[in-house]
């Protein structure tokens, strides 16, 4: 076997299994360990693998500053081409894998958090009890949650060309997120969020500067078609430029993939895309704004869900924190009670729910089963500090068994 072929085979192997030892490769290719070490060193120098003790691990997708454009000019042309290849997947076939595949297009933000005894009033300076700077953004948080919930996640996001873009890359590379495509904006900075978390009850206040999150182009969305094609579920939120989110939903529809829309933060844009959405998951505030019905209890949640369905949504789940979640599917309501939790930080609770819900749906669970799993997952997330700080699947299983 020629050197090039051997190195390509090593890359193929790493693509599949993510990690390999020098000894294994030497035996497989019937060459010396020295030869394999030199192959791995060359591949590492090219940035294709990462050396580790006794072998190598795959380097996840590298920062993509360049666009991959093979769309015959327009996004609509790509859509038409995909429509003709639409997957004919029957419902029972979906999610038959134990580890469902979820594609998430969404934001990455750097969260600057101040822990306060209470929220400051207008014009007031207040000493914070503590402060952190960490990864956030609804998209990235949901990608973390879905990964911890066991899904094989591909995350698509866009950052700037500033010091925070390296922070984003390092965070995503070190996380359990299976793979990611991280675009870079030439002009806009990495998104950030200024967050207050009240010590009283873990409640939060957030101001978001979207920056690069709002600059995803048609070509950048088109380039994720192969990743999307391999997924069971696309999960999106509203922290990116709406056109990118809409295009991703159209692509998913063309490929026959389920779409979950978390309409957060609220934007009336959500009403424009309901035809592409399988499940919409507003919280109480977003449901009130979408429906015009103020959600204050289970009855008003039912009324709001009916109104949202009348606007074109196929399935609605209204998440209500301590009041649980209200599902409307067809004409059937189902209430999922919340799991009791000792809340220290509610930031990212919705992200925990949505990521876990998408992961469960991708494994073939019903809406009610997935929402119950997601409610348990979110109850554990609010017991931890930090929006992206998600629990592990085993902890969720333990909490579920307490019910
Ligand atoms: O949902 C919480 C998230 O909202 C934070 O991480 C912040 O970045 C904003 O996107």
Distance from first CA to last CA of the chain, Å, rounded?
Answer: 58
Q: Quick check: 26 pLDDT over 50?
A: yes
Pick the CATH number of 1-58 from 2.160.20.60, 1.20.1110.10, 1.10.10.10, 3.40.50.700: 1.10.10.10
Rounded distance, CA 366 to CA 354, Å?
Answer: 15
Interval between CA 207 and ligand 1 midpoint (Å): 9
pLDDT at position 396: 97
Tokens of 131: 């402060």
Helix locations, 132-200, DSSP H: 138-148, 163-174
Q: Is the pTM of this model over 0.75?
A: yes
Distance CA(232)–CA(269), nearest Å, equals 24
**What is the average pLDDT value for the chain, to the nearest integer?**
90
Domain range summary for the chain, segments of one domain joined by + = 1-58, 99-400
Burial class (CB in 10 A: 0-12, 13-18, 19+), 103: buried
What is the tens place of the pLDDT at every residue in 44-71?
A: 876 677 788 887 776 555 455 444 444 5
Indicate which residue's Cα is closest to atom 8 of ligand 1: 137
What integer is the mean pLDDT of 352-361?
98
Question: Of all protein residues, whose CA lies closest to atom 7 belonging to ligand 1?
Answer: 137
Q: Please say if the pLDDT value at position 372 is more than 70.
A: yes
Tens digits of residue pLDDT in 111-135: 999 999 999 999 999 999 999 999 9
- Tell me how far the alpha carbon of residue 103 lies from the centroid of ligand 1, in angstroms: 19
Task: Give the model confidence (pLDDT) of 269-320 as tens digits.
Answer: 999 999 999 999 999 999 999 999 999 999 999 999 999 999 999 999 999 9
Q: Tell me, what's the pLDDT at 94? A: 47
Residues in the ligand 1 pocket, defined by CB under 6 Å? 107, 109, 111, 136-138, 141, 193, 206, 208, 239, 347-348, 350-351, 387
pLDDT in tens, 160-207: 999 999 999 999 999 999 999 999 999 999 999 999 999 988 899 999
Closest ligand 1 atom, CA of 110?
Answer: 8
Structure tokens at 46: 């090219």
351 carries an active-site annotation:
yes
Residue 363 has pLDDT above 70, yes or no: yes
Name the CA dihedral angle for 19, 357, 355, 336, rounded to a multiple of 10 degrees. -140
- Counting from 1 in the atom list of ligand 1, the atom nearest the Cα of 347 is 2
Q: How confident is the model at residue 328 (pLDDT cuts 50, 70, 90)?
A: very high
38-42, 218-222, 360-364: which range is least confident on average?
38-42
| Best probe residue, ligand 1, of 106, 141, 202, 211 (max atoms within 8 Å of C-beta) | 141
- Domain 99-400: which topology? 3.40.1190
Ligand 1 binding pocket mutation candidate from 348, 378, 386 (most atoms within 8 A of CB): 348
Measured in angstroms, how far is the CA atom of residue 135 from the centroid of ligand 1?
Answer: 9
Cα→Cα distances 175→148, 266, 378, Å:
10, 28, 19
Once rounded to an integer, what is the mean pLDDT over residues 216-233?
93
Mutate to test the pocket of ligand 1, among 113, 204, 387, 389 (most ligand atoms within 8 A of CB): 387
């Amino acid at each position: 076997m020629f050197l090039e072929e051997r190195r390509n085979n090593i890359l193929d192997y790493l693509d599949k299994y993510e990690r390999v030892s020098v000894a294994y490769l030497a035996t497989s290719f019937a060459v010396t360990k020295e030869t394999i070490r030199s192959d791995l060193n060359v591949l590492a120098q090219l940035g294709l693998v990462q050396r580790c003790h006794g072998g190598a691990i795959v380097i996840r997708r590298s920062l993509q500053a360049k666009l991959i454009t093979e769309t015959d000019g327009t996004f609509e042309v790509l859509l038409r081409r995909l429509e003709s290849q639409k997957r004919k997947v029957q419902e029972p076939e979906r999610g038959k894998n134990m580890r469902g595949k979820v594609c998430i297009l969404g934001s990455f933000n750097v969260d600057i958090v101040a822990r306060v005894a209470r929220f400051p009033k207008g014009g007031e300076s207040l000493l914070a009890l503590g402060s952190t700077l960490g990864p956030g953004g609804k998209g990235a948080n949901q990608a973390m949650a879905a990964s911890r919930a066991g899904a094989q996640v591909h995350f698509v996001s866009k950052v700037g060309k500033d010091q925070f873009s390296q922070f984003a890359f390092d965070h995503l590379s070190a996380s359990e997120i299976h793979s990611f495509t991280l675009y870079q904006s030439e002009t806009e900075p990495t998104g950030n969020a200024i967050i207050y978390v009240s010590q009283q009850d873990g409640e939060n206040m957030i101001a978001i500067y979207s920056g690069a999150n709002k600059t995803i182009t048609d070509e950048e969305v088109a380039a994720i078609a192969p990743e999307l094609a391999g997924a069971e579920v696309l999960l999106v939120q509203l922290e990116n430029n709406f056109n990118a989110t809409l295009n991703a939903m159209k692509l998913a529809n063309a490929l026959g993939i389920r779409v979950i829309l978390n309409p957060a933060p609220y934007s009336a844009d959500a009403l424009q895309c309901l035809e592409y959405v399988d499940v919409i998951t507003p919280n109480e505030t977003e449901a009130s704004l979408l429906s015009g019905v103020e959600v204050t209890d289970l009855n008003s949640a039912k009324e709001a869900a009916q109104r949202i369905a009348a606007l074109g949504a196929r399935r609605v789940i209204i998440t209500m924190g301590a009041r649980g979640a209200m599902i409307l599917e067809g004409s059937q309501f189902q209430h999922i009670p919340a799991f009791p939790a000792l809340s220290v930080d509610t930031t990212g609770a919705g992200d925990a729910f949505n990521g876990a819900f998408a992961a469960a749906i991708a494994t073939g669970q019903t809406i009610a089963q997935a929402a119950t799993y997601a409610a348990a997952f979110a109850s554990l997330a609010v017991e931890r500090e930090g929006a992206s700080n998600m629990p592990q699947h085993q902890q969720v299983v333990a909490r579920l068994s307490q019910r």
